[in-house]
A = this chain, B = another copy of it.
Amino acid sequence: MGVVTDVHIVGAGMTRFAKTDRTLRDLAQEAVIQALGDAGLQPADVPAAYVGNAAAGLVTGQEMIRGQVMLRGIGIEGIPIFNIENACASASSAAHLGWQAVANGVHDVVLCVGAEKLTHADKAVGMKAIGTAVDVEMMAELAAEMGTAEPAGERSFFMDIYADMARDYMATSGATVEHFASIVVKNQHNGARNARAQYGAELSVADVLASRTVVEPLTLLMCSPISDGAAAIVLASTAAMERLGRRGPRVRASVVVSGNIHDKSDPLAGSAGRAAQMAYNISGLGPDDLDCVEVHDASAPAEMIVYEQIALAPPGGAPDLVDSGRTLLDGDLPVNTSGGLLSKGHPIGATGIAQLCEATWQLRGEAGERQVEGARVALTQNGGGWLEGDSAAMAVHILSAD
């Protein structure tokens, strides 16, 4: 690796995640203006932008030049703008490419944005868009074989995948629906402390289990919601950060992989495991060093499975980790302090950068009611798409306070 400078997140901005009538451009610009202000930059100072979005083509009809359209009229002119798509990992893929540019001295600062609008008058439109995070030809063949219609409508078929994973996981680990429910209780508790979260409430395990069943064993509260929103970060070299008179966490590792490995015999061959292991190796930091973690809890069981994949727990050890209370906000390894996808919301192409915003605020001590005392090291994990039994794209970032 030819890294020539450390990279820091010197600005973070994020809309509240919600179902809204606002346009994608309006959401993106709110996040961008916040992030630039936080970094002490004017729009005209931005030399390059990396923009993540996953679904605009199908939801709003905007393809091809989504970033240019989102950033239009804000005073960002003439610069290279790259539109990056990797399903639910679009934003962290954009952040990774922006990080590459700064780490290697191509630019001394870059703007990375993720934005998504999933709500649509016709609910099936958003669901169908999410359903393109797979090989659509394979899915059409599969649907034809099964004699079923196209998977679109009342729920994302991703919840069928997660339900399958959950049943397998329960059978091998001893995890129960009560474990899944307690993940939701934790994340909703955290989200209730985040003004930018879509939801957030003090719930009981019984409340979560009593919500309607989406796909056995998942209840509605165990599934991340449909959300609109945007998040942005400004990445800067150490020299640029000093010039700006800012401070911000250091990116210790930025890793993107894809999950299409046919040999599944290595437990780390799963994309989250591989990406985390690479990030631990690159950073010289390990699971024991983490003070807070944001993981891709698109469903509650996914959070537990990821605990094992990224080595927060040994194989089969996630139920014990949940029981221990260590991943609660006041535990020693708090996970999804932001509320996670379950409570904060999941505007898919924005999620990866929203995770990096939360890590930034935690490491700067600006997370308010949900602040993890003395947080020094954070990890974020963000998966996207589904292909041949694993995520099509997987991103892991590790940040440290300095």
Binding site for B on A (CB under 8 A): 1-5, 23, 25, 54-55, 57-58, 60-66, 68-69, 72, 76-87, 90, 93, 96-97, 100-101, 103-106, 129, 132-137, 256-262, 269, 271, 274, 384-385, 387-388, 392-393
Seed contacts A80-B96, A81-B392, A83-B85; 14 additional CB < 8 Å A-B pairs = A3-B105, A61-B136, A64-B90, A65-B133, A65-B134, A65-B384, A65-B387, A65-B393, A68-B387, A69-B387, A72-B388, A77-B262, A78-B258, A104-B105
A350, chain B: closest CB distance, angstroms: 14
Interface pair A392/B54, CB less than 8 Å apart: no
Contact B63 A54 (CB under 8 A): yes
* A309 vs B103: C-alpha distance when bound (angstroms): 33
The distance in angstroms between the C-alpha atoms of A25 and B55, with both chains bound, is: 21
Q: Which residues of B contact A62 (CB under 8 A)?
A: 132, 135-137
Question: Given A72-B388, A260-B77, A82–B97 Cβ distance below 8 Å?
Answer: yes
| Residue of chain B at shortest CB distance from A93 | B82
Q: How far is the CA of A271 from the CA of B81 in the complex (A)?
A: 13
The residues of B that contact A79 with a CB separation of less than 8 Å are 257-258
Q: Contacts of A5 on B, CB cut-off 8 Å?
A: 2
- Residues of the B chain whose Cβ atoms lie less than 8 Å from the Cβ of A101: 100
Closest B residue to A94 using CB positions: B82
Query: Which of A2, A25, A103, A134 gathers the greatest number of chain B CB atoms within 10 Å?
Result: A2
Beta-carbon contact of A105 and B54 below 8 Å:
no
Nearest CB in chain B to that of A90: its residue: B64
Among residues of B, the one whose C-beta sits closest to the C-beta of A25 is B137
Q: CA of A248 to CA of B84 in the docked complex: distance in angstroms?
A: 28
Determine which of B1, B81, B132 lies in contact with A63 in the assembled complex, contact meaning CB atoms within 8 Å.
B132
